[in-house]
Structure formats: structure tokens, C-alpha cells
């Protein structure tokens, strides 16, 4: 082998440029941005029976209320397409296979809302709305901050620009609240109201029929919670179903009177029980002292 041939590989290797290591790709720096606590929220609860005409507009208006992150519609045995229209409008819908009444539907809705609450967040307050409000449901918006900001535990809507709700059932409920607490509500039977979960639980089980609102007000006040009435720009579409016939008006009167009477009896019993217990405490103390002295 010649010297030229032996040195060829060495010269070729010397001719190659030195290899420099490629710079490592820098990983993008990620900064964790703390997520703000969304705070308490409200679930709108709507009980509907054959309300296909207005339920979609009511659901959309409820979803537009600030603070409302859930709209739940309880279809109480409707025979039309109320369920489908409410679901398409963005509501979560549960259904009763047959009519069970507004009280049972509200209790069902409250249970479903409780199951949908996240464990690491405060329990949702509940905004009760009528299904026939349509776009007027947005007028209930002032009730939400009154409850979420801690102004009260139960906010009741003053609707239709009425100073005091007319009718004998409203008068019975107003008198009962006034006698029990000294406060005379303007519209004690207003069905549009926002309530905290804690205040709602003390009113369970709810009174039946038209007595629901009067009994809820008395139960909440008796438990030491606070109530306020808030003016809302809401106009109803005509009288309620129970006020359209003499039989309906008679049933409304009976249900309110029954609910108020039951709460009055319950209050008297609790007062009597507390008084008896207070009177027995000194005697028990004297008896124990006598035994110790003996």
C-alpha cells in the first residue's frame, strides 16, 4: 500500500467540519393562572303543565338572568310537547308521568337541583318562576342578588305594580304573618321568589296547593331567617288557573286557610312545650339538690 493511499482516509476525516451539538428545544414556560372562585349561584325552578305556548320563552329569559347557571323544568304530566320545547330552549327537564301538583313538583325539583350541586361549591339557591311568564321572567333578576349577596334568605317578588295583593286568601296570609311577626307583607302569596337552600329546608315538607307560599313565609320567619319583598317588572298573562272559576277560588281559600291554621297550631304547640320545659327545669334542679343534701 502506498503512502498516498494510507493517508487518504485521514485527510478526508480532517476535512470534515467539527460537529456542534444541536441546541435543545426550550420547553415553553407555563404559568398556572389561578381560577377565580365562581361563588354561589342560583338554579331557576319552573313547574309546568301543558305550557307549550310560553315555556321556551320563559326558559330563555331565565337563562339570561345574571347568577342563574341552571334552569330546571319539572313537567308535571303534560299532554303536549312542553318537555321537548323546554329541553330545546336549554333547560334540564324531569317529568312526572301523571299530575302530582305544584307542591310535589317543587319538592322533586329541589331534590334534583341538590343532586346536581358540586361538592366543592356552595349549594345553589332556588329561584321559583311561573311557566307562563315568557320573556317577562327576566324581570325576576333583582331577586337573585338580594339572596346571593346576603341581604335576605328569601326574596319575594312584588309584581303587577300592586300595592297590596287583593282577595281574601291574601288577606288571611297577610294577617297570619302580621300576627306572628309584626310584619305585614304586601303580596304574601307571590309565587315568584328566590330562597336559599337552608331556608327552603326548614319549610319542608311544603304545604299543599295555594298554601305553599304562605306556609313557606311563616316557616322561614319562625326559624329566624330573613325575608324581603323586591319590586320586579313582571306582568302576568291574566289570572291564574285557580282564580278563574268559583270552585278554584274556593279551593285556593281552603288551602291557604289550612296551611295558615296548621302553622298557627304548630307554633302554639312549640311555645307551650318550651314553656313547660322551662317550668320543669327548676323543679328538677331542686330535686337533684335535695337528693345530694340527703
- Tell me whether residue 293 is in a domain: no
What pLDDT is recorded for position 18?
A: 60
| 51 touches 78 (CB < 8 A) | yes
pLDDT at 164: 76
Residue 81 neighbours by CB under 8 Å, 6+ apart: 52
63: cell is 337563562
Per-residue model confidence (pLDDT) at position 40: 85
Structural domain total, the chain: 1
Question: Could you tell me if 143 and 244 are in contact, meaning their C-beta atoms sit under 8 angstroms apart?
Answer: no
How are beta strands 227-231 and 154-158 bridged, if at all? parallel
What is the pTM (predicted TM-score) of this model?
0.78
What is the sign, positive or negative, of the torsion defined by CA atoms of 243, 247, 250, 251?
negative
In a domain, 157, yes or no: yes
pLDDT one digit per residue (tens) for the chain, 294 residues: 544 455 554 554 455 556 665 656 566 565 655 555 567 899 999 999 999 999 999 999 999 999 999 999 999 999 999 999 999 999 999 999 999 999 999 999 999 999 999 988 899 999 999 999 999 999 999 999 999 999 999 999 998 766 677 789 999 999 999 998 899 999 999 999 999 999 999 999 999 999 999 999 999 999 999 999 999 998 765 445 556 678 888 989 999 999 999 988 877 776 666 556 656 665 545 444 444 454
Q: What is the CATH number of the domain that holds 154?
A: 3.90.550.10
Exposed, middle or buried: residue 47 (CB in 10 Å: 0-12, 13-18, 19+)? buried
Q: What are residue 128's DSSP bridge partners?
A: 45, 193
Q: Is 104 left (phi over 0), alpha (psi -120 to 50) or beta?
A: alpha
- Contact between 59 and 73 (Cβ < 8 Å): yes
Does some domain include residue 25?
Answer: no
138 lies in some domain = yes
Contact 228, 151 (CB under 8 A): yes
Query: Residue 90 falls within a domain, yes or no?
Result: yes
Residue 109 dihedral angles phi and psi, to the nearest 5°: -60, -40
Q: Is residue 289 part of a domain?
A: no
Whether 122 maps to a domain, the answer reads yes
Provide the Cα torsion 105, 106, 112, 114; round to 10°. Answer: -160
Is position 274 within any domain? Answer: no
Distance (Å, whole) CA 273 – CA 173: 25
pLDDT at residue 105, as a whole number: 97
Q: Which domain holds residue 133?
A: 42-269
**pLDDT reported for residue 30:** 54
What pLDDT is attached to residue 246?
Answer: 82
Amino acid at each position: 500500500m502506498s503512502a498516498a493511499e494510507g493517508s487518504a482516509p485521514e485527510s478526508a476525516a480532517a476535512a470534515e467540519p467539527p460537529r456542534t451539538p444541536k441546541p435543545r428545544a426550550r420547553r415553553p414556560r407555563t404559568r398556572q393562572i389561578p381560577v377565580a372562585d365562581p361563588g354561589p349561584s342560583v338554579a331557576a325552578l319552573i313547574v309546568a303543565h301543558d305550557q307549550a305556548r310560553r315555556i321556551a320563552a320563559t326558559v330563555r329569559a331565565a337563562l339570561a338572568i345574571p347568577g342563574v347557571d341552571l334552569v330546571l323544568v319539572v313537567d308535571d304530566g303534560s299532554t303536549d310537547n312542553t318537555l321537548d320545547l323546554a329541553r330545546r330552549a336549554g333547560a334540564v327537564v324531569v317529568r312526572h308521568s301523571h299530575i302530582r301538583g305544584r307542591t310535589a313538583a317543587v319538592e322533586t325539583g329541589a331534590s334534583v337541583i341538590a343532586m346536581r350541586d358540586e361538592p366543592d361549591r356552595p349549594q345553589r339557591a332556588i329561584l321559583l318562576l311561573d311557566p307562563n311568564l315568557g320573556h317577562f321572567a327576566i324581570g325576576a333578576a333583582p331577586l337573585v342578588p338580594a339572596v346571593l349577596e346576603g341581604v335576605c334568605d328569601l326574596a319575594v317578588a312584588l309584581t303587577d305594580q300592586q300595592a297590596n295583593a287583593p282577595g281574601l286568601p291574601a288577606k288571611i296570609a297577610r294577617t297570619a304573618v302580621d300576627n306572628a311577626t309584626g310584619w305585614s307583607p304586601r303580596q304574601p302569596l307571590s309565587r315568584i321568589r328566590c330562597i336559599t337552600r337552608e331556608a327552603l329546608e326548614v319549610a319542608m315538607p311544603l304545604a299543599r296547593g295555594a298554601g305553599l307560599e304562605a306556609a313557606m313565609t311563616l316557616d322561614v320567619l319562625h326559624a329566624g331567617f330573613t325575608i324581603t319583598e323586591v319590586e320586579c317588572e313582571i306582568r302576568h298573562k291574566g289570572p291564574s288557573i285557580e282564580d278563574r272559576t268559583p270552585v278554584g277560588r274556593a279551593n285556593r281559600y281552603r288551602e291557604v286557610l289550612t296551611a295558615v291554621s296548621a302553622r298557627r297550631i304548630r307554633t302554639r304547640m312549640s311555645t307551650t312545650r318550651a314553656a313547660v320545659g322551662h317550668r320543669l327545669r327548676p323543679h328538677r334542679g331542686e330535686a337533684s339538690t335535695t337528693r345530694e343534701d340527703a
